[in-house]
Amino acid sequence: MDRQIKVKLNSDLSRYGKGLLPGIEGYTIGQYGTWSRGSDRFIGVCFPGIATLDVLWESLEIIDDEYLKEVALIRKKEVDDLKSARNVIKYVGPKGGFRYISYEYILEDGITNHVSNGSKSDADILIGIFNQYGINVEMKTI
């Protein structure tokens, strides 16, 4: 079973169960029903005394302080690892539209990690980090 994460509902789901209103707190239980077993956009959530059902992640706010601290530490380490990035290339289409960004960096144990990311919002954040570290971002048209 996945780790239980304390969450707060930020959508009105009262049509699925009485009391499933914004602000109600519960905890994740991993894959539960058809939706959470079929898509990572959903997670099984238990709202004690009310209902257990699959809920969209975007309808939840994580309020588990311990979990949020762990995620922050992991993200900080990931950003620190990007100091060794090289071969950073932003690929654009013939009209200049974003396609993807690729780069490589070396992990603590000496392994080279090759990464490609097709999310423009992620790429914008990464480019900001690379600029902060003085790492050149090459642009190529595909």
Q: What is the pLDDT of residues 42-62, one digit of tens each?
A: 999 999 999 999 999 999 999
Q: If you average pLDDT over residues 33-47, what whole number do you get?
A: 94
Q: At residue 95, what are phi and psi to the nearest 5 degrees?
A: -100, 5
* Per-chain mean pLDDT for the chain: 93
Whether the CB-CB separation of 130 and 122 falls below 8 Å is answered with: no
- Interior CA angle at 60 toward 115 and 70, to 5°? 50
pLDDT over threshold 90, residue 78 = no
Residue identified by tokens 């690729």 is 102
**Residue 95, pLDDT score:** 95
pTM (two decimals): 0.70
Q: If you average pLDDT over residues 103-124, what whole number do you get?
A: 92
**Residue 91, pLDDT score:** 97
Q: If you average pLDDT over residues 71-75, what whole number do you get?
A: 93
Distance, CA of 67 to CA of 109 (rounded, Å): 26
Q: Which two tokens stand for residue 1?
A: 């079973």
Q: If you average pLDDT over residues 93-97, what whole number do you get?
A: 95
pLDDT over threshold 90, residue 115 = yes
**Residue 2, pLDDT score:** 65
